[in-house]
Amino acid sequence: MAIPYFPGCTLSTKASGYDRSGRAVAQALGLEFQELPDWQCCGATFPLSTDNAMTLIAPTRLLRQAQEAGGQMTTLCAICFHVLRRTQNFLQEHTDVLERINWFTEEPYLGQVRVTHFLELLRDQLTWETLRANVSQPLKGLRVAPYYGCLLLRPPAEIQLDDPDDPHILHECLEALGCEVITFPYQSECCGSYLAVSKPTVPQQLAQDILASAQHHGAQALVTACPLCQYNLDYPQQSVRGWAIKPLPVLYFTQLMAVALGLPEQVWGMEGHSVDPRPLFEPYRATVA
């Protein structure tokens, strides 16, 4: 089945490992990602004030491309997903704003596209049972802590992906891969987001709290769906002086899927990580046939 796919800027640059592993696992599961033909930045933030609709032009141009591609679109990046899902909802309710935006984008968007996160696609269309049946290298005994962050869950009324206080979707995905899944209290605390640029000490402190809590609960790795969370949690571990926490790999869920589905190491996309996660997978390497 072909699925229109929006990678987003970060997945084509800094988080290319997320993109590579995501495309590979989708293909292995019979879901062919079909990249939107000429995508641009989604805008990266959803406009929160009432008179700032101009900011919706960028995500609307993408929804319009998805409209051409069949009315559905999936993303891996939690930020792009957040922006696109909220735009989709907002424009369904506010047809006056849609009309105005269409004047800017020059190509009418009809307001009917459905944006999904890849996790949602796995849960609702593929189902966890099918995923489980495709696992050839179960990650038995690997203790991983799902880290949800903010944008995948909140605000729940608009995102409607999972329970914001007791989320399960990453848990279920990792359980299907055979992992031992650990719940820890910081699983949906904010990582500091864009403050990484203007006020890096804030995310660095938050990252230490999050990583320390996960380690305290016995995690060998943290698993996320957001490239900014991955950066804020992984990157300072090697670059900040006086870092007090033991190294803890921070992975994308698609990378664990790639290992569990027995895909070759070239598609795991783990070489760019600050804390190399690959030693964790020595026991689970697919034996070459």
Q: Which residues are near another protein by CB under 8 A?
A: 9-10, 12-16, 38-41, 44-45, 47-52, 54-55, 57-58, 61, 104-106, 150-151, 154-156, 164, 189-190, 192-195, 197-200, 202, 205-206, 235, 238-239, 271-272, 274
> What distance in Å separates the CA atoms of residue 7 and residue 286, rounded to the nearest whole number?
28
> What distance in Å separates the CA atoms of residue 226 and residue 76, rounded to the nearest whole number?
8
The residue among 57, 107, 51 whose CA lies nearest residue 83 is 57
Q: Which residue lies nearer to another protein by CB, 196 or 223? A: 196
Smallest gap from Cβ 12 to another protein, in A, equals 7
Q: Which residue lies nearer to another protein by CB, 118 or 235? A: 235
The residue among 242, 226, 168 whose CA lies nearest residue 192 is 226
Smallest gap from Cβ 242 to another protein, in A, equals 14
Q: Which residue lies nearer to another protein by CB, 65 or 134? A: 65
Q: Write out the chain in H/E/C secondary structure.
A: CEEEEECCHHHHCCCHHHHHHHHHHHHHCCCEEEECCCCCCCCCCCCCCCCCHHHHHHHHHHHHHHHHCCCEEEECCHHHHHHHHHHHHHHHHCHHHHHHHHHHHCCCCCCCCEEEEHHHHHHHHHCHHHHHHHCCCCCCCCEEEECCCCCCCCCHHHHCCCCCCCCCHHHHHHHHCCCEECCCCCCCCCCCCCHHHHCCHHHHHHHHHHHHHHHHCCCCEEEECCHHHHHHHHCHHHHCCCCCCCCCCEEEHHHHHHHHCCCCHHHCCCCCCCCCCHHHHHHHCCCCC
Q: Which residue lies nearer to another protein by CB, 57 or 245? A: 57
Q: Which residue lies nearer to another protein by CB, 125 or 274? A: 274
Smallest gap from Cβ 57 to another protein, in A, equals 6
Q: Which residue lies nearer to another protein by CB, 165 or 282? A: 165
> What distance in Å separates the CA atoms of residue 230 and residue 37, rounded to the nearest whole number?
27
Q: Which residue lies nearer to another protein by CB, 48 or 288? A: 48
Q: Which residue lies nearer to another protein by CB, 101 or 181? A: 101
